Structure 1
Amino acid sequence: MRVFPGWWQVLAAMLLQAASSASVFTAYSVIAVPLQLTFQPSQTLLMMGITVAALASGILGPPLGAAIDRFSMKLLMLAGTVLLGGGFVLLSLAGSMTQVILVYLGPLAVGCVVCGPLAGSALLARWFSRRRGLAMSLAASGGALGGLIVPPLLQYLIEAFEWRTALQIYGCGLFVLTAPLVLLLVVNQPADRGLHPDGEEPPPAPARPVTAVTGSSTLEFLRDRNFWLIALCLGLLLGGPMGLLSNLVPFVLERQLTAGQGALLLSIFSAANFAGKLTSGIVADRADHRLMLAVIMLVVGLGFFGFLQAGSFAFLALASVVLGAGQGATVPLWSMILARNYGAEKMGRSMGLMSFMIMPFTLVAPGLYGWAFDASGSYDPALMGAIALLGLALGLVFLIRPQAAASTA
């Protein structure tokens, strides 16, 4: 039985997300150790590498999203593999933390965007309609898969070789593995193979879009009320978990537990996050997206409440499962909402712009948790604030106009 080529696109998107996101973000704590020993920076300066990469990824979202919609996906992803592999080679040649930061700000950030979730979601939105949720959730799980493989691999290379040599080996290997993956598997759209989304017969003529966005300019998206409401809901939903995760080990220490138990909670969260992504995609193909978003907010709020009330490691582990599943379920649903409301042909632009709009929530949240602790000696005010903001977001969900039918995407 012949496999629908769209599933090869899912495999490519999943593996590219595993390579890009895990290499640039998840593995930074591994790379930070030799950087600190070599350059002796302050802790704040040391963390600037990952900070500027996140900031650049958000800022680059709108222009690169537009490029993804306009130009060949295969060529952009291939360029991304060059930037990722070359970025780690350049990192190995850095003579100061300033140069390290510039590498993360430039080639690594750009490579991560054009090989990561933004590009993968845009690609799969073209190849799938009826089974889009499943396809996107499988691809999104690549980030969790990479998080399990890349950090220990880099740690092994750094221990086996001097860190500069290790990064050169890793960068070259990254390119050698990902470039052929793009060349062999990625196809820009099903029409290039004489196919239609899901491998089915041509769909019926689409109904009128539910949004006011008929063009592709940034201004038209910004004029659409739905776009703002979706961005606010997702920003409030994603910011809280990001803030807690960034402060999880200090939070655990405040609860009179150990740093090792905090690391274990991170692993539990990641496993639940993986399960949440897979479940969300399967359900999103059949369910109302507004209702799903509301349910996820309730789940995340329950997770926050668990952290607020937890007095033992077992209770914190349970809260981590709940919070991780809720946060993981958000990512594929975000892609599905945009594809359903704005169409596959505008996926890059809509997701790139919305990533930029959500970025302030995820960047500010970790600092707000730290500020709350400095001001009160406890993380409880931050958790209560996160729950209150989720209540606000829950009210905004039902102001979003109902989405179009699946056939309109």
Structure 2
Amino acid sequence: MTNRSSDLDDSRKKGAFYGWYIVAALFFASFLAIGLRHGFGVFVKTWEEDWGVTTAAISLAASIGVLCNGLSQPIGGWLADRYGGRPVLVFSLTVMALSTIAVSTVSSVFGLIILYGVLVSFAAGGVSHPAMAVVIARWFDRNRGAAMSILVAGGSVGGLVVVPFLSYALVEFGWRAAWVIIGLLALGFGVPLLLLIVRNKPSELGMQIDGEQHDESNRELPQSSAQYIGPDFVNKWHQALNSKPIWQLSFGYFVCGITTLAVAVHFVRWAVSEDITEATAALAFGALMFVNALGVLVVGVLSDRFQRKNLLGTVYLIRGLAFISLIVLPGDQAIWAFAVIGGMSWLATVPLTASLTADVYGVRNLGTLFGFANMSHQIGGAAAVLFFGWAFTRFGSYDIPFMVGALTLLAAGIVSLSIREKTHSVRYVQVIPEGTVGDESSLRDDR
């Protein structure tokens, strides 16, 4: 224990805040979890041929998986709020890894529904952004947007690396071996990293949020907004349901689910229907994730300086343009246009939505509230996965689903831009808690 304290003291002197090591560990967990789920679409055509089933049948398994994942996220978030993010993340990633390995044994859509649709997907809810956001919010205040963006970039890099890797493994070793390999990576590297690095909050290591030090000469002035409360902070999560921002954020996230999860499942299948090879489609999706990793980091930095709702609305509108490109451009051009335009917006909604939720309602119930937003995301995604599969089976084209996606993104952009951030966010309206100097003050920041 003495050695650990000494190491932490040294790291403080060198300016290395321990919270960034936690961000790195969560980055890798997100890399594995999201990379795997985005890689599902690589196997759709193979399963159709091996099992003699339709795209709609495989879509059912994926849709159930998305729904189970959505239902589990508020539970995982609530558990993280109550017991801390670390035990939730470790247990969930362990179960997810073992279930992923077990997927290699299935031989029917029913088996895929049980192992992937239920077990893998439900466990993934505990190693998703709500539980991770609880950890980040308790370690970071000033750089919360940047920290969340780095974490989310892990999912983007996961799509960049894992999806092409699964495509390669499918060709070289078969789909069963591909699932075993990714499951072993999560079990052998992801779980130990979470155990060794992640801590629930700074006080467990004798530290403070943002790595701040007590300054006895300046005790009267709070050092960050973590020492203030916002006008809409809640003690119980259900109190937030009486306010408008949670519904605006959840609607946007519902549309986000429609437009990301459906594409994650159907992108490769769409490409094949346009006479583009599976390998090229996987490469294009990887390129999308590469562009998104850069975009997420830029959005994270900007979100700590400008209104987050403006960035969020812009992200949805840009993604709408990406969906339009899939309809109006020839397939061989559309696939790369979508990779670039869609990549600029793909997971950028996550740090913005999580940070806005914390800004408006506080961090005490962040896991639960962001979990509900994620549940709306997954419900929208589950419905869209089914709809995209049905539409392609019925019409032989994805044009109608892509148009629906573009229209819903327009609506999400307008709703997000209408959020009154300067009225609800602690970044702009700050009330000093009772018992603190100036507890009757209200401080406004017109950034």
Distance change in 2, residues 1:17/1:372 (3 Å): same
Asked if 1:197 is matched to 2:209, the reply is: yes
Deviation of 1:47 after TM superposition, in Å, equals 4.1
Which of 94, 97, 106 pairs up with 1:85?
97
What's the CA shift string for 1:269-307, capped at 9, x where partnerless?
A: 222222221111111111101211222233223333444
- Please say which of residues 332-341 and 85-94 is displaced more in the overlay: 85-94
Question: Does 1:210 pair with 2:231?
Answer: yes
1:91-111 per-residue CA deviation (whole Å, 9 max, x = no partner) reads 345575434422224432233
Deviation of the 1:198 alpha carbon: 1.6
Q: Give the SS at the match of 1:326.
A: coil
Is this contact kept in 1: 2:312–2:417, CA < 8 A?
no
Deviation string 1:31-65 (CA, Å, 9 cap, x unpaired) is: 66776677555544444443322111101112221
Q: Which amino acid aligns with 1:359?
A: Q
Identity %: 24
Question: Separation in 2 of the partners of 1:37 and 1:83?
Answer: 29
Partner of 2:23: 10
User: Following the alignment from structure 1 to structure 2, what is the Cα–Cα distance between the partners of residues 197 and 313?
Assistant: 49
Task: Measure how far apart 1:321 and its partner are.
Answer: 1.1
Contact (CA 8 Å) 2:66, 2:381: kept in 1 or not?
no
Q: Distance in 2 between matches of 1:169 and 1:314?
A: 33
Structure-to-structure mapping, 1:269-308, within 5 angstroms: 269-308=288-327
Cα separation, partners in 2 of 1:404 and 1:372, compared to 1, 3 Å: same
Check the 8 A contact 1:268/1:321 in 2, yes or no: yes
Name the structure 2 match of 1:363. 382
Contact 1:126-1:345 at 8 Å conserved across structures: no
Instruction: Tell me: CA distance 1:263–1:228, structure 2 relative to 1, closer, same or farther (3 Å).
Output: same
Deviates more, 1:174-183 or 1:201-210: 201-210
CA distance in 2, matches of 1:292, 1:268: 22
Distance 1:157 1:391 in 2: 38
TM-score (norm 2): 0.77
Matches within 5 A, 1:178-257: 178-201=190-213, 203=223, 206-211=227-232, 214-217=234-237, 219-243=238-262, 246-248=265-267
The root-mean-square deviation of aligned C-alpha atoms, in Å, is 3.5
8 Å CA contact retained: 1:280, 1:330: no
Q: What is the aligned partner in structure 2 of residue 329 from structure 1? A: 348
* Further displaced range: 47-56 or 368-377: 368-377
Aligned residue among 5, 10, 33 for 1:20? 33
1:388 shift after superposition? 3.6
Residues 299-333 of structure 1 show CA distances to partners (whole Å, capped at 9, x for unaligned) of: 22333344443247446533431222122322221
- 1:227-250 alpha-carbon deviations (Å, 9 max, x no partner): 111111232345235445655456
Contact conserved, 1:15 with 1:142, CA < 8 A, in 2?
yes
* 1:353 to 2:366 alignment: no
Change (3 A) 1:74 1:394: closer
Asked if residue 113 in structure 1 is aligned to residue 125 in structure 2, the reply is yes
**8 A Cα contact 2:387 2:401, kept in partner:** yes
Matched, 1:258 2:279: no
Deviates more, 1:201-210 or 1:342-351: 201-210
User: Aligned partners of 1:321 and 1:236: how far apart in 2?
Assistant: 20
Alpha carbons of structure 1 residues 167 and 229: separation in structure 2 relative to 1, 3 Å: closer
The 1:319–1:194 alpha-carbon spacing in structure 2 relative to 1, beyond 3 Å, is same
* One of 341, 350, 355 as aligned partner of 2:360: 341
Distance 1:5 1:93, change over 3 A: same
Mapped partners of 1:148, 1:32: distance in 2: 19
Unaligned 5+ runs, structure 2: 1-13, 215-222, 432-447
Q: How does 1:153-168 map to 2 (within 5 A)?
A: 167=179
Instruction: State the secondary structure of the residue aligned to 1:174.
Output: helix
Which residue number in structure 1 is paired with residue 188 of structure 2?
176
Structure 1 gap ranges (5+):
none
Q: Which amino acid aligns with 1:258?
A: I
Shift of 1:138: 1.0
* Equivalent residues in 2 for 1:47-62, closer than 5 Å: 47-62=59-74
Which stretch of the first structure deviates more once superposed, 175-184 or 155-164? 155-164
**How far did residue 367 of structure 1 move?**
4.4
Determine the C-alpha separation between the residues in 2 that align with 1:6 and 1:319: 35
Structure 1 residues 107 and 189: alpha-carbon distance in aligned structure 2, compared to 1, 3 A threshold? same
